[in-house]
């Protein structure tokens, strides 16, 4: 975390920070194994609650066994504890673990068993992410056995399947899931997006996603239709070459669009004064698209 990001936390009086500690993947050779381990270190943040987050690929819960899930729960708890001691010295004691998994009907039972086991082993508050589909259809997708859930109000559309909509946040898509007031059986927190990305297409085939250097890249683009741009000048960004004629789908969000989403959420989601509102994610370049007043306004708007 750099100085600018630390200043953002202080200026906005952020009290809780969700940090992805690592991910869990699976293959036939190595079984379940951690990847994408965090390199972040935080010191002397006594006012900040750290919530370790672990993203677990859905494949981990396919064709598994209770014995393997017991081992997984033990390993996840061990690694979180190890990372917390090594990298997050002198912060408030960790009280909550959050698991992030796009579970399906076929993996639901195994994932829920793992969550129960992790609770027993860790003796912590266990939360999980909740996508809008299982939120809308709990009788079909089940209620995860956790203390609370974070409703993920973004990434509603497959970014490679619908080329005409903003896949990060589309208000009409959001309304398809949040279409009436519902009382979910768990305490709900809310997560909203404050990031943007550029999807690069070469010869009309998807190539990669760019998060950094968007301001520089934008100077070499011309709009060809809503959301879509064409590269007009060869450009190098972080050793990556954009060539003349490459196409880019540039998905970003205005403060007005985020506030529109907040109004939909307030109208249709049952939450209370203890609900945590999370902005994804802490990145000074991404957050520079918003003023401090706009960022603090996202939080304030939930209490109006």
Pairwise CA distance, residues 118 & 96, whole Å: 11
pLDDT grade for 93, boundaries at 50, 70 and 90: confident
**Is the pLDDT assigned to residue 41 strictly greater than 80?**
no
Do 60 and 36 lie in one domain? The reply is yes
Q: Are residues 233 and 123 in the same domain?
A: no
Q: What is the pLDDT of residue 151?
A: 98
pTM of the model: 0.94
The beta strand positions in the chain, using DSSP E, are 16-27, 31-35, 49-56, 96-100, 125-130, 148-152, 187-193, 197-202, 205-210, 221-225, 228-231, 235-237, 240-242, 247-251, 277-280
* pLDDT at 107 > cutoff 70: yes
Say whether pLDDT at 29 is over 80. yes
> Does 188 lie in the same domain as 206?
no
- Mark whether 99 and 207 lie in a shared domain: no
Rounded Cα–Cα distance for residues 246 and 213 (Å): 16
Q: Does residue 124 sit in helix, strand or coil?
A: coil
Here the tokens at position 180 are 């009436």
Do residues 29 and 171 both lie within one domain? yes
In total, how many domains does the chain have?
2
- Note whether 95 and 205 are same-domain residues: no
End residue of a domain, out of 209, 230, 251: 251
Phi/psi of residue 20, nearest 5 degrees: -70, 110
**Where residue 304 falls among pLDDT bands split at 50, 70, 90?**
confident
pLDDT at 303: 84
Full domain range(s) for residue 118: 3-194+253-303
Q: Are residues 137 and 284 in the same domain?
A: yes
pLDDT above 80 for 1: no
The SS3 call for residue 177 is helix
| CATH at 177 | 3.20.20.80
């Amino acid at each position: 975390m750099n100085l600018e990001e630390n200043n953002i936390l202080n200026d906005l009086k952020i009290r809780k920070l969700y940090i992805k500690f690592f991910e869990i993947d699976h293959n036939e050779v190595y079984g379940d194994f951690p990847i994408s381990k965090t390199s972040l270190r935080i010191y002397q943040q006594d006012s900040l609650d750290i919530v370790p987050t672990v993203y677990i690929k859905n494949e981990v819960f396919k064709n598994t066994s209770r014995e393997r899930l017991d081992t997984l729960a033990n390993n996840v708890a061990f690694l979180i504890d190890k990372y917390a001691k090594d990298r997050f010295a002198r912060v408030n004691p960790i009280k909550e673990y959050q698991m992030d998994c796009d579970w399906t009907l076929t993996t639901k039972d195994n994932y829920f068993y793992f969550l129960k086991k992790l609770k027993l082993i860790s003796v912590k508050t266990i939360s999980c992410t909740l996508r809008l589909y299982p939120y809308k259809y709990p009788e079909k997708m089940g209620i995860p056995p956790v203390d609370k859930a974070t409703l993920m109000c973004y990434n509603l559309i497959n970014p490679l399947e619908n080329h005409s909509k903003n896949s990060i946040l589309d208000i009409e898509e959001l309304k398809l899931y949040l279409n009436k007031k519902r009382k979910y059986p768990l305490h709900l927190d809310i997560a909203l997006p404050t990031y943007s990305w550029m999807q690069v297409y070469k010869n009309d085939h998807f190539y990669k996603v760019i998060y950094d250097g968007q301001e520089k890249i934008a100077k070499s683009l011309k709009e060809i239709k809503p959301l879509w741009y064409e590269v007009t000048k060869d450009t190098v960004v972080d050793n990556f070459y954009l060539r003349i004629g490459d196409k880019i789908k540039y998905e970003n969000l205005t403060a007005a669009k985020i506030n529109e989403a907040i109004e939909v959420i307030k109208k249709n989601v049952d939450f209370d004064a203890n609900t945590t509102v999370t902005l994804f994610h802490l990145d000074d370049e991404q957050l520079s698209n918003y003023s401090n007043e706009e960022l603090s306004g996202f939080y304030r708007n939930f209490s109006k």
